[in-house]
Structure 1
Amino acid sequence: MAKNIQSKIPATDTLMIRDVNQDTTARFVEEARQAVKRAAAAGTGTGMANVVVAESARDMAEQSTVVVTSLPEPQHVKDVFYSILRHGELPPLEQERLFIDTSTIDPSSSKEIANAIHTTGQGRFVDAPVSGGVVGARNGTLSFMFGATSQTGQLIDRVRSVLSLMGKNAWHMGAPGAGVSGKLVNNYILAINNIATAEAMNLGLRWGLDPKTLADMVNTSTGRCWPMEVNNPVPGVVETAPASRDYAGGFGVSLMKKDLRLAITAAEESGSPLPLADVARTVYNAVEEEHRGKDFSVVYKWLQDRSQ
């Protein structure tokens, strides 16, 4: 995501970054510097902004008109934004600050942060969780679903403009909190479909069906879904899928477990029944115990190990 921002914003702009992993930060800074040098040598330096490292989230917010955050858990998001707010008003800039949080967190936490930003007049907060995975981030083809309120529509246009630097789709879902609500709906479906795909492929193979033929048939029939077509859990069916490299990379089973937990909590708060949720949670808890760090399609291997 950061690489795409750097390559698409004007060279006169500055991209500030901040990450708790210092090695990752140093590596990105060096890659960014080399990219600027290559672009300058080729005479195509336009759009290759310089990259600097912010000392803190507050430091970044003080100097930036747009701040994009991406964090693992609701508490991490709260910690970052309250660290920005606790030191008083931010210095004025030529444009109202725009805070875009691409984290997948629960709607209640996101609304709390939005309220804290808006009531103190420190800018506008937009929840804009992302879908598309590592490949989408690398290729700039991510999809965003965002929540924001704008009386004139100018904020919506501004948000879309920023998100277009990192992705190809930006869905305005409604008021603050609507973005993360939409993302949790999507990922609840994904959590269930992933298990169903793993179960079905395991069943088909035990019946003697060819996995590639089975997947091709399903993907032209009513069972078609992302876990079957793009992230197929059987090694070798989709060469680019994590299953074909021992389930390395991709979307970690722990992240899927987290998103399912958030969806269940949000559903309970709204009084919405999720009959399949408890079974799915039990499966992901067990899979994480044995395959922590692997892509969530490793559910298939977990099922294989339990087949008689």
Structure 2
Amino acid sequence: MGGHMAKNLLKKNYKLTVYDLNKSAVSNLVEAGANSASNVAEMSREVEIVISMLPSNQHVVDVYTGENGILSAAKKNVLLIDSSTVDPSVSQSIASQAKKDNLRFIDSPVSGGINAAKDGTLTFMVGGSNIDFDYAKSILEAMGSRIVYCGDIGMGQAAKLCNNMLLAISMIGTAEAFNLGQKLGLDAKVLANIVNSSSGKCWSSDLYNPVPGILPNVPSSKNYEGGFGTTLMAKDLGLAQSAAIRTQAPIPLGSLAHQIYRTIIAHGFSNKDFSVVYQFLKGKN
């Protein structure tokens, strides 16, 4: 995700300094015109804006607040944009620490997946001050087609967790429906044509169908490679579960989706796209 986002910034003639533990990711961006840094502190020291895209709560905490982290190195008044998906409380905590260091922070998680990152059509869900949102908007527009202001710090994360929980639930439902249809002898493409022009239509069926061969450019037709991994979906559902417990919000389907994706991982699908739930329901490892 971050690599594609960075390439879109380069295409819009932004000057980038990049860092990643994945050396090949850095090499690809250097070949595209970026400068590289040897660590997070070096990357943060001379730039006007920092954009992070990281896997989990702890990664974000370590990169921002750890020894030689972003907060220790960035210049005063630099804008920090975190596009990771984390617990809203993590964003709120980092924003509070950033403010003490005279730094600005917004949470800006994304929706749309690998293809949208590549095409520059991501949706950004932003939490922070109106001033910082306005300042960041042109940067985010270089990577996305829809930039939505969600409210105070953490509200971008709240929107993302709710969206991903719904996505997981709808993907499981889509996979169940298509598996049942085929068990009954119905052609999957016929069912897709009906569902996508009827009341069952949803993103999981229409634009990201989990059945191989229905859509050519989605992970299900590429052996479930690429896309949004089951491990990341389980992580996001875990964050939603924690938020629901903290706020005492009942999420029976969200909780079940979390358990299903954890089970999928235990059955060896951890490196596959989350639409592989279709194969899991069919009983294929």
- Specify the TM-score bucket, using the shorter chain as the normaliser: over 0.9
Q: Which has the larger radius of gyration?
A: 1
**Partner-residue secondary structure (3-state), 2:156:** helix
Q: TM-score, normalised by structure 1?
A: 0.86
Q: Does 1:292 align with 2:242?
A: no
Supply the AA of the counterpart residue of 1:101. Answer: D
In the TM superposition, what is the alpha-carbon distance from 1:117 to its structure 2 partner? Answer: 0.3
CA contact (8 A) 2:41 2:73 kept: no
For 2:150 and 2:255, locate their aligned partners in 1 and report how far apart those are by CA, in whole Å. Answer: 27
Unaligned runs of 5+ in 2: none
RMSD value, Cα: 1.6
Give the equivalent residue in structure 2 for 1:183. 160
Q: Which moved more, 1:213-222 or 1:53-62?
A: 53-62
Give the equivalent residue in structure 1 for 2:215. 238
Q: Does 1:174 align with 2:151?
A: yes
Supply the AA of the counterpart residue of 2:151. Answer: G
Q: Does 1:119 align with 2:120?
A: no
Give the equivalent residue in structure 2 for 1:15. 16
Q: Does 1:141 align with 2:121?
A: yes
Give the equivalent residue in structure 2 for 1:3. 7
For 2:226 and 2:57, locate their aligned partners in 1 and report how far apart those are by CA, in whole Å. Answer: 23
**Aligned residue among 85, 90, 106 for 1:109:** 90
Q: TM-score, normalised by structure 2?
A: 0.93
Give the equivalent residue in structure 2 for 1:272. 249
Give the equivalent residue in structure 2 for 1:67. 50
- Equivalent pairs, count: 278
CA contact (8 A) 2:62 2:69 kept: no
Tell me the alpha carbon deviations over residues 257-305 of structure 1, each in whole angstroms, 9 at most, x when there is no partner: 1110001101111110111133222211111122121111111111111
Give the equivalent residue in structure 1 for 2:282. 304
In the TM superposition, what is the alpha-carbon distance from 1:28 to its structure 2 partner? Answer: 2.3
In the TM superposition, what is the alpha-carbon distance from 1:85 to its structure 2 partner? Answer: 5.8
Q: 1:115 to 1:87 in 2, by over 3 A?
A: closer
CA contact (8 A) 2:141 2:147 kept: yes
Give the equivalent residue in structure 2 for 1:258. 235
In the TM superposition, what is the alpha-carbon distance from 1:86 to its structure 2 partner? Answer: 8.4
Give the equivalent residue in structure 2 for 1:222. 199
Tell me the alpha carbon deviations over residues 59-83 of structure 1, each in whole angstroms, 9 at most, x when there is no partner: 2222011000000001000001113
In the TM superposition, what is the alpha-carbon distance from 1:27 to its structure 2 partner? Answer: 2.7
Unaligned runs of 5+ in 1: 34-50
Identity, % of aligned positions: 42
